[in-house]
Amino acid sequence: MAEGEPSRLQYLRNRILSSREAFERFGSDTGQVISRGLTHSIGTEQTYENILPRFQGKTIVEVLADKTETAQQKANQLGVPPERVKYLDIGYGNGFALLEASENELIIPIGYGNSHLTEVEYKDLDGTVHPPTQSELNVRRVQLIEGNVLDIGHNITGNSIDVISMEQVMHYTDLPYWEIIKRIYRLLKPGGVAFIDNTYFSNREELSSFLTAQGYSFEIGFDNISFQKTKPTLDVPIRTKTGETGEFQTVEILRE
C-alpha cells in the first residue's frame, strides 16, 4: 500500500459517504426519496413485507408478530411485563419501516446507518410533499445509531436483537457479503431472524447444503438471504462473489 493511501477497510468505510453524496446530488433535486414501510410505502409499491425474502414461509411482518405474541404469552404465564422485541433496520432510509414498527408497543425499533434521509422532505408519486420524518422518529423515541455496517459489531451488542432487516443496502457495501452476514449474525439473539436483500450467490444450492450440514439455518434466494441464529457463531470459510461485476473475490478476513 502506497504511503498516504487509505487502507482497504478505510476505503470501504468511506463508501457510506458516497451514498450520502449521491443522495445530495440526485435525491433532493428530484424528490426521489422512497419511503418503504413494513406494509405500506410512499413513492413505490414496494414494502419490506413484499420484497424482503421470507423465512420458513413467513414474511418479516409475520415473524415480528410471532415474536411479540410469544413475548406476551410468556409474560402472561409469569405474571410479569412482556420483554419487548428488538427490531433493527440496517440502512433505514427515512425510517419509514421503523415508524411503522413503533406502532406496536411491544417492539423496540432501532435504526442503524446514517440519518441523511430523515432530514429531508419526501414525495408521493402524485407529487404530494411530506415533511421530514426526523421529528416523528423523535416523538416515537425510535433509536437511531450512526455508523457504517462494517462497524456494526462495535456499536451494537452481540446476541441482543430479535429481528433484523437490511433492505436495498447490501449493494452499497462492496464487501464480500459473507463478511457483512457474519457481523449481522453475531447481533442476533439465539432464535433471532434476519432478512436481507441485494445479495447474489451463484453457488447457492451448494452453499445451502453446506450450511445445513453444519447445523445452520439459512435460506438463500437468487438475490436475497434469510436466516435464523441456530449456533452461537457463524464461523465458516465461504468464498463469495461481490459487487455488480459478480467477480469472484477471495474472502478477506477484515478484523473489526
Ligand X SMILES: C[S@@+](CC[C@H](N)C(=O)[O-])C[C@H]1O[C@@H](n2cnc3c(N)ncnc32)[C@H](O)[C@@H]1O
Cα 158 → chain centroid? 15
- Residue 18 CB, nearest approach to ligand X (Å): 8
Nearer to ligand X, 66 or 174 (CB): 174
* Interacting residue ranges for ligand X, rule: CB under 6 A: 15-16, 19, 34, 36, 90-93, 113-114, 117, 148-149, 167-169, 172-173
Element (H, E) at 146: strand 143-146
Name the minimum Å distance from CB 216 to ligand X: 24
Element (H or E) spanning 228, and its range? strand 224-228
Q: How far apart are CA 196 and CA 214, in angstroms?
A: 21
Smallest distance from ligand X to CB 146, Å: 9
Report, in Å, the least distance between residue 79 CB and ligand X: 38
- CB closer to ligand X, 38 vs 211: 38
CB-nearer residue toward ligand X: 32 or 202: 32
Q: Rounded to whole angstroms, how far apart are CA atoms 238 and 216?
A: 14
| Nearest distance from C-beta of residue 172 to ligand X, angstroms | 4
| Torsions phi, psi for 146 (to 5 deg) | -85, 130
Among 133, 146, 148, CA closest to 37: 133
d(CA 19, CA 171): 11
Nearer to ligand X by C-beta: 115 or 228? 115
DSSP state of 223: S
Q: Which residue has the cell 459517504?
A: 17
Burial code (b: 16+ CB inside 10 Å, e: under 16) for 110-132 equals bbbbbbbbbebebbeeeeeeeeb
- Least CB distance to ligand X at residue 180 (A): 9
Q: How many residues does the chain have?
A: 256
Q: Which is nearer to ligand X, 75 or 145 (CB)?
A: 145
Compare residues 71 and 86 and give the one whose CB is closer to ligand X. 86
